[in-house]
A and B are shown apart, each in its own frame.
Chain A
Amino acid sequence: MIISQLPVLQVILPLAAAPLCAILHHRILAWALTLLVSLISLCFSYMLLNQVLIEDTITYAMGGWVAPWGIEYYIDKLTAYMLLIVNGITVLVLLGAREIVESDIASDRIYLFYTAFLLNLTGLLGVITTGDAFNLFVFIEIASLSSYAMISLGRDKRSLYAAFKYLIFGTVGASFILISVGLLYVVTGTLNIADLSQQLTNTENTPTITTAFVFFIIGIGIKAAIFPLHLWLPDAYTYSPSIVSTFLAGTTTKVFIYVLIRFIYSLYGYEFSFFTESFHYLLMLSASGAILYGSYLAIKQDSLKRILAYSSIAQIGYMVLGIALITELGLMASLVHILNHAFIKVGLFLAVTAIIYSYNTDSIEKLAGIAKTSPFIFALFIISGLSLIGAPLTSGFISKWYLIKASLEADYWIFVSIIVISSVMAIIYIGRIIETAYFKPSVKQTATLDLDKKRPYLLFLSLVVISFINIYFGIETSLNVDMASQIANELINK
């Protein structure tokens, strides 16, 4: 019985848990509840994956109203893939979250933080599972609003301004998406994504459809921080509480890239998006800009979280690049990188979170020589760092291998050089952190270990698991690579 209700359970579970969390009013119970919910949610997504592998697609009509009148949840392999990623990241982040949150957020607000977290999770899971365009907009907004709230809870007062800026940007973006949905509705009379795609193939190409397309791309571009619409990201990641940065870095932007992929391939269809509109050139420009700009700026920062934020912008550029190559291999490379980067970035952010928690500072300059006092954290940082650079036997290498292969296959030598140059830049900014931590001698201004705080053992556990995952997916790639190539195949050849 559960199996048939799985699609909706996946979304309703965190949604129902949120008010429960608000009622609970207790900071430790709130964390426990959130962790429990995310674990169950992970089980659900695993069960959904198994189902999808057998049945190919699952549709679930909300309230029994059949599409196209009712809202429909649509699960295919891409959906299951994304669900696993989001839930997996959530569990890993929440595992070590308790002490970190207690030190970062005022204790009378902690239960509210977890409530917002659950709502964010609801929103993200809803975005992934829904098959209705307007429902998509609603869930996007649920996720975004709760993330604005979470970001504003940071210690630094700049987090408020960062949250506000993100709010403005994000709302404009979501409104653009709403306009696009509206225009599509005018043209076709339906809101169901599968139905929309069918209707669109039957209608002629009018300026309305093109306008809807453009609005959607810009709206999703703002949300997914695609260069040059990324301006909200650095501040939002830097000033928000560390756990929030970790979670957002691993989920939000990936989910919105998923929406982009879904929109381009499932809704508008391959031929229209790329050949009629030929906007893949624009995507290529944007991707190259993101990769070079993000990597370059990451080199010059002093704040650890800021480096990782700019690095994320560059990595999102990689994902967009794979899509922009308009080949099946390119799409597959993007999908592989979505998974790999989620775990790499969360691994790096977890290590940075541990450092900030233990040393009360974010600045590299003040962290000279601390590798001696925290060898464990840094060893794991190095593993995730190597994966970001793309060292062989880590998951990052697999992503780069496929991206370069896809670029070669599409005869775009320029992208090979861009990917390779940005890898060298990644070596520089990760190397800077490692060099300062290991080699520079501790001086007076160096931060010292805050001995009042308890060691965050569960966080260490998450770090170990993620480092293991980063290496595992570099060696045993059948899980993500095979899945990604199947998905790419289906999406392009539908």
Chain B
Amino acid sequence: MDILSSFNYWVVIILMMIGFYIIIANNNLVKKIIGINIFQTSIFIMFISMGKVVDGTAPILNDLNTLYSSPLPHVLILTAIVVGISTTALGLAIIIRIHTAFGTIEDDKIQQEIK
């Protein structure tokens, strides 16, 4: 397998690392949530790109085609996207409450305030 044919995996890994780095390294809480989103998106891409069958069409039954990409990953990812959105929504809601309570959404300042 050469690099080009597995470029989807490269995209996945790069996005995953970017997302992970943002979660860990960034101070701002909202940006951490963004990092999580990027991280989860990379996983979604991994799943979906795995479902693609060479020369297969979109998995909607019609009379013209006989070869379809696998629909299962799409279904799974729909669920996972919903989960991701709920997580984001909950995270942002908590951030709003944190802002009301602490006055800031910078991680280091909150930690200082806790001490």
By a beta-carbon cutoff of 8 Å, the part of chain A in contact with chain B is 134, 137-138, 141, 145, 148-149, 152, 157-158, 160-161, 163-164, 167-168, 171-172, 174-175, 178-179, 182, 185-186, 191
- Smallest CB–CB gap between A195 and chain B, Å? 14
* Contact indicator B23/A167 (Cβ below 8 Å): no
B residues 14-63 with Cβ under 8 Å of A? 20, 23, 29, 32, 36, 39-40, 43, 46-47, 50
CA distance A178 to B23 in the complex (A): 18
* Contact indicator B83/A141 (Cβ below 8 Å): yes
Residue of B whose beta carbon sits closest to that of A69 = B72
Q: Is B76 an interface residue (CB 8 A)?
A: yes
* Contact indicator A175/B98 (Cβ below 8 Å): no
The answer, among A158, A175, A191, for a CB contact under 8 Å with B39, is: A175
Report 13 cross-chain contacts, Cβ distance below 8 Å, ordered by A residue: A138-B79, A145-B86, A145-B87, A149-B90, A161-B110, A163-B94, A164-B98, A167-B90, A168-B32, A172-B23, A182-B47, A185-B72, A185-B73
The answer, among B36, B40, B114, for a CB contact under 8 Å with A168, is: B36
What residues on A are CB-neighbors of B23 within 8 Å?
Answer: 168, 172
* Contact indicator B90/A148 (Cβ below 8 Å): yes
- Smallest CB–CB gap between A219 and chain B, Å? 12
CA distance A171 to B88 in the complex (A): 10
* Contact indicator A148/B43 (Cβ below 8 Å): no
Q: Is B102 an interface residue (CB 8 A)?
A: yes
The answer, among B76, B91, B98, B114, for a CB contact under 8 Å with A134, is: B76
What residues on A are CB-neighbors of B46 within 8 Å?
Answer: 179, 182
B residues 84-105 with Cβ under 8 Å of A? 86-87, 90-91, 94-95, 97-98, 101-102
CA distance A209 to B43 in the complex (A): 17
What residues on A are CB-neighbors of B91 within 8 Å?
Answer: 164, 167-168
With A164-B29, A182-B43 known as contacts, the answer to whether A158 contacts B114 (CB < 8 A) is yes
* Contact indicator B36/A186 (Cβ below 8 Å): no
- Smallest CB–CB gap between B92 and chain A, Å? 10
* Contact indicator A167/B43 (Cβ below 8 Å): no
- Smallest CB–CB gap between A267 and chain B, Å? 18
By a beta-carbon cutoff of 8 Å, the part of chain B in contact with chain A is 20, 23, 29, 32, 36, 39-40, 43, 46-47, 50, 72-73, 76, 79-80, 83, 86-87, 90-91, 94-95, 97-98, 101-102, 110, 114
What residues on A are CB-neighbors of B32 within 8 Å?
Answer: 168
What residues on A are CB-neighbors of B73 within 8 Å?
Answer: 185
What residues on A are CB-neighbors of B72 within 8 Å?
Answer: 185, 191
With A138-B79, A168-B23 known as contacts, the answer to whether A160 contacts B94 (CB < 8 A) is yes
Residue of B whose beta carbon sits closest to that of A166 = B94
Residue of B whose beta carbon sits closest to that of A174 = B83
The answer, among B29, B76, B86, B97, for a CB contact under 8 Å with A152, is: B97
* Contact indicator A161/B40 (Cβ below 8 Å): no
CA distance A141 to B79 in the complex (A): 11
CA distance A268 to B98 in the complex (A): 42
Residue of B whose beta carbon sits closest to that of A161 = B110
The answer, among A152, A158, A186, for a CB contact under 8 Å with B94, is: A152
Q: Known contacts A157-B98, A160-B97, A171-B40; can you find 6 more A-B pairs with CB under 8 A?
A: A164-B95, A168-B36, A171-B87, A172-B23, A174-B83, A185-B73
CA distance A152 to B83 in the complex (A): 19
- Smallest CB–CB gap between A183 and chain B, Å? 8
- Smallest CB–CB gap between B59 and chain A, Å? 15
* Contact indicator B36/A148 (Cβ below 8 Å): no
With A134-B79, A158-B114, A161-B114 known as contacts, the answer to whether A171 contacts B43 (CB < 8 A) is no
* Contact indicator B94/A164 (Cβ below 8 Å): yes
With A152-B97, A167-B91 known as contacts, the answer to whether A175 contacts B43 (CB < 8 A) is yes
Residue of A whose beta carbon sits closest to that of B75 = A134
* Contact indicator B87/A141 (Cβ below 8 Å): yes
* Contact indicator B36/A171 (Cβ below 8 Å): yes
- Smallest CB–CB gap between B51 and chain A, Å? 9
- Smallest CB–CB gap between A164 and chain B, Å? 5
CA distance A145 to B87 in the complex (A): 7
What residues on B are CB-neighbors of A185 within 8 Å?
Answer: 47, 50, 72-73
CA distance A58 to B100 in the complex (A): 50
- Smallest CB–CB gap between A15 and chain B, Å? 15
- Smallest CB–CB gap between A482 and chain B, Å? 39
CA distance A62 to B48 in the complex (A): 24
What residues on A are CB-neighbors of B47 within 8 Å?
Answer: 182, 185
- Smallest CB–CB gap between B95 and chain A, Å? 7
The answer, among B80, B90, B102, for a CB contact under 8 Å with A145, is: B90
What residues on B are CB-neighbors of A167 within 8 Å?
Answer: 87, 90-91, 94
What residues on A are CB-neighbors of B43 within 8 Å?
Answer: 175, 178-179, 182
What residues on B are CB-neighbors of A141 within 8 Å?
Answer: 83, 86-87
With A148-B90, A167-B90, A178-B43 known as contacts, the answer to whether A157 contacts B101 (CB < 8 A) is yes
Residue of B whose beta carbon sits closest to that of A190 = B72
Scoring A145, A160, A191 by chain B CB atoms within 10 A of each residue's CB, the highest score goes to A160
CA distance A82 to B47 in the complex (A): 31
- Smallest CB–CB gap between A178 and chain B, Å? 6
CA distance A157 to B114 in the complex (A): 9
With A149-B90, A152-B94 known as contacts, the answer to whether A178 contacts B80 (CB < 8 A) is yes
- Smallest CB–CB gap between B23 and chain A, Å? 6
Residue of A whose beta carbon sits closest to that of B37 = A171
